[in-house]
Amino acid sequence: MHFSSFVSRRSQTVLSFTALGVASALALAGCAPAGGADSDDNTITVWHYYSLDNQNAMLDQYKSEFEATNDGVTVENVYVPQDQLNSKLIAAVGSGTGPDVVVFDGYSATTLTSGGVLAAITDEWSGFDGADQIAEGAVTTVSGDVYSVQGYVNTLGLFYNKTILDELGIEPPTTVDQLEDGMAKATAAGHQGITLSGQPDVQGAFQAFPWLTEAGFDYAKPNADALSEGYARVRGWIDNGYLSAQAPTWDQNVPFAEFMNGNTAFAENGNWQLSSLESDATFDYGVVPLPVGTTGKVYLGGEAEGIGAFSKNPALAWKYLEETFLSKAGQLVALDQVGSLPTRADASADDSISADPYLSQFAEAIATQGAPFPDTIIPPENNEAVINANGQAWSAALGGQTSPDQAASDLIKVLEPLLQK
């Protein structure tokens, strides 16, 4: 019995090509992000999730400067979408591969360390002459070994539309009551009051923290009343029309795009948006630290850098970090391109910060309101669970899925077992 007796010649050709196509598609589908398994001695791969133009400009500048001072070396920057980076890194560990340098969301440092993604850099760090310039809170240490360092810090502030504020005779607020008065006046005049992120994930939790701590919440002694007060305050902004009810669907970039339309009085957002304001704003603008009183805090966010556990060039990778993210000149590049604030004391003392009316406000926020992210009280293995629960509670309270009281008590119920060691 021969195959060709069942199927005509033409169909055979079609079938063979289809089979070949399917086989090659399967083979191609197995390819991981490019640049993961390079064995070339002079190439280092850098995995990152930067999607804004200014962030990529900074990374490109690091690449060209490092290649210029190190003959024959190539730096390959590989983009991985933000919500996939951590899982791709952890999956790569399973196959013993991974990048040379990792630029990741700082709060994931302990998670990635326990997943075996990062190499210990204790020796390199102790031999680094800039180590004493960098604040302790910017270095992640697990069981006595250093695993990652933050080259810069990003945090939240209160952007305001100066044109609208001047027109209505409002001063930039220093207390949350003044902020609410300002929003009421702006809304009455037909503008939007404020924009912020209410997404049920880490971004929402990042933006929720200032208002929860303003109401007195503290991880050392978690208190449902403080949480409830914080949720009720911002939920009240939605009920009064100061904040759009769409906030639960917004990440951090959409609310800023809304602010850029020029019809919003205030925006809770980060210093990484400064350069796009500078180039694209059609109105006068200003920044003040978030008016969150004496107890209010802002998370010190921003990306951290480390060396991949399966890097084939750890020495070259460390040289890259020394000369870019961790050097004084490199941190000033981040400041210049993105508006990110340096973690080195010598770079922070740079005149360009104190002279800049916007950067100086963020520097003040970091100095007076900054809190480590994640909170050091949380057991590292529960960081992700805590931050997700926070994001979901924030989104549920803002979206009306639960009342502020219910969201607060639900969150406390979830947090209690997670906060015990």
Partner 1 sequence: MTYLTIRVPNWPSSALRRRGRRAAKSRWIYLVPATVFLGALAIFPLVQLARLSVSDVQVQNLNSDWPFVGVRNFIDGFSSGVLSQSLANTLVFVTIVTVVGLVGGIAAAVALRGTAKITGVLLAAMVFIWALPPVVNGSVWKFLLADDGLVNNVVNLAGLQSFPFLYDERYALISVAVVNAWAVIPFNTLVFRAAVLNVPVEQFEAAQLDGATPAQEFGNVILPALRPTTIVLAVLTIVYAFRSFDFVYVMTKGGPGTATQTLPYLSYQQAFVGYDFSAGAATAVVAVLFVLILAGVYARSVLKEESE
Residue 400 binds partner 1 (CB under 8 A): yes
When the beta carbons of 198 and 314 are compared against partner 1, the nearer one is 198
Whole-number Cα distances in Å, 277 to 294, 327, 352, 355: 29, 27, 17, 18
Task: State which amino acid sits at residue 130.
Answer: G
In eight-state DSSP terms, residue 120 is: P
Which one of residues 44, 392, 411, 412 is an interface residue with partner 1 (CB under 8 A)? 392
Contact 102, 305 (CB under 8 A): yes
* Chain-centroid distance, C-alpha 343: 16
Residue 385 binds partner 1 (CB under 8 A): yes
Residue 225 binds partner 1 (CB under 8 A): no
Q: HSE on the CB side for 403, CA within 13 Å? A: 5
Residue 145 binds partner 1 (CB under 8 A): no
Residue 398 binds partner 1 (CB under 8 A): yes
Q: Which of 129, 239, 227, 131 is nearest to 184 (CA)?
A: 239
Residue 220 binds partner 1 (CB under 8 A): no
How far apart CA 111 and CA 134 sit, in angstroms, is: 22
When the beta carbons of 16 and 64 are compared against partner 1, the nearer one is 16
Residue 86 binds partner 1 (CB under 8 A): yes
Residue 234 binds partner 1 (CB under 8 A): no
How far apart CA 67 and CA 284 sit, in angstroms, is: 40
How many other CB atoms are found less than 10 A from the CB of residue 69? 10
How far apart CA 321 and CA 128 sit, in angstroms, is: 11
Residue 248 binds partner 1 (CB under 8 A): yes
Q: Applying CB under 8 A, which part among 39-47, 69-77, 80-88, 149-157 lies near partner 1?
A: 80-88
Q: Applying CB under 8 A, which part among 108-116, 119-127, 299-307, 340-348 lies near partner 1?
A: 108-116
300-329 binders of partner 1 (CB under 8 A): none
- Contact residues: partner 1, CB under 8 A: 1, 83, 86-87, 90, 93-94, 111-112, 114-116, 198-201, 244-249, 381, 384-385, 388, 392-393, 395-402, 407
